[in-house]
Amino acid sequence: MLLKDKVAMVTGGAKGMGRGIALRFAEEGAGLALCDLDLEGAQSVAGEIESLGGRALALRTDITKSAEVAAAVAAALEEFGTIDILINNAGGVPGTHASGATGTFDEAEWDRILAINLKGPWLVTEAVLPTMKERRSGKIVFVSSMGAVSPVVSVLHYHAAKAGVLGLALNLAFELAPFNICVNSIVPGPVETPFWDSLMPAGPERDAFFAAVSKHEVPLGRMGTPKDIAEAALFFSSELSDFVTGQTLCVAGGQPMLSQQATFNIEGYLRERGLL
């Protein structure tokens, strides 16, 4: 087992990728502290883990509030005695109805989305770090988004925050390397989770949308699954990656390769000019 006797805190652990990561890590022997706004969902995932013989603690936490984050970290330390792994996964654009392009949202909305996707991960990291520094060991994984590096729709606040996460992770990797704390980022492509609920409800219309996205945007021709993300998170959280820090891994079915080909066909360009 890759995470035997390790303890992982997973934010956004109530559903989607967070749930997938938590279940996968439990299979590998980790104890799980699940922090989420959705306590019922986190409790249900904790129940799934316990029914498989694992250890899990569900914590109602708003990652944008430092007092709640401090309380969650204290509760996890009380329960497990340590936190070896932090998965900064919670995020998204919950409750958003505007498109996210220029002129469609106000300053308060900018602050809200930045708080969920950038300030929150920073707060949780700060709260977990004293334990990791003391032990001179730790793994921290950030979940960014393909929109941060290769946007195909305009969602300014969200994509800016997710790009910020990549900068935050890089700077942390630099600062924390002397403490043997590895910090890496996952950039997911489109993954089938409740994340999409604020865009459109589950049903035939959404299935058709996912089919179109898979066909036109994803070289491997399918949507990602929480398990796809969980496997990458497992690599970054286990000894398999002990010599890896400051890295960004796209788990995106080959994106952004396809969109780059669509906008700039280098082979066609060279052929046209008789260079190939």
Binding site for ligand NAD (CB under 6 A): 11-12, 14-18, 35-38, 41, 61-64, 89-92, 94, 116, 120, 143, 145, 188, 190-191, 193-195
**Which residue, 63 or 86, has its beta carbon nearer to ligand NAD?**
63
What residue has token string 């005695």? 81
- Whether 158 is catalytic is yes
Catalytic-role residue among 80, 105, 122, 158 = 158
What's the closest the beta carbon of residue 27 comes to ligand NAD, in angstroms?
18
What's the closest the beta carbon of residue 93 comes to ligand NAD, in angstroms?
8
Cα R_g (the chain), whole angstroms:
19
What's the closest the beta carbon of residue 223 comes to ligand NAD, in angstroms?
8
For ligand NAD, the nearest residue by Cβ is 16
**Which residue, 33 or 35, has its beta carbon nearer to ligand NAD?**
35
Element (H, E) at 45: helix 39-51
**Which residue, 96 or 131, has its beta carbon nearer to ligand NAD?**
96
121 contact partners, CB below 8 Å, separation of at least 6: 11, 63, 88, 90, 91, 142, 165, 168
What's the closest the beta carbon of residue 37 comes to ligand NAD, in angstroms?
4
Helix (H, G, I), strand (E, B), or coil: what is residue 258? helix
**Which residue, 135 or 222, has its beta carbon nearer to ligand NAD?**
222
Q: How far apart are CA 40 and CA 122, in angstroms?
A: 25
Q: How far apart are CA 237 and CA 2, in angstroms?
A: 9
Please answer whether residues 58 and 11 qualify as being in contact, where contact means their C-beta atoms are separated by less than 8 angstroms.
no
What residue has token string 């938590």? 22
What's the closest the beta carbon of residue 32 comes to ligand NAD, in angstroms?
14
- The torsion region of residue 136 among left (phi > 0), alpha (psi -120 to 50) and beta comes to left
CA dihedral 63, 67, 72, 74 (to 10 degrees): 150
The total of other beta-carbon atoms located within 10 Å of residue 106's CB is: 10
Residues constituting the chain: 276
**Which residue, 64 or 125, has its beta carbon nearer to ligand NAD?**
64
- The residues assigned a catalytic role are 158
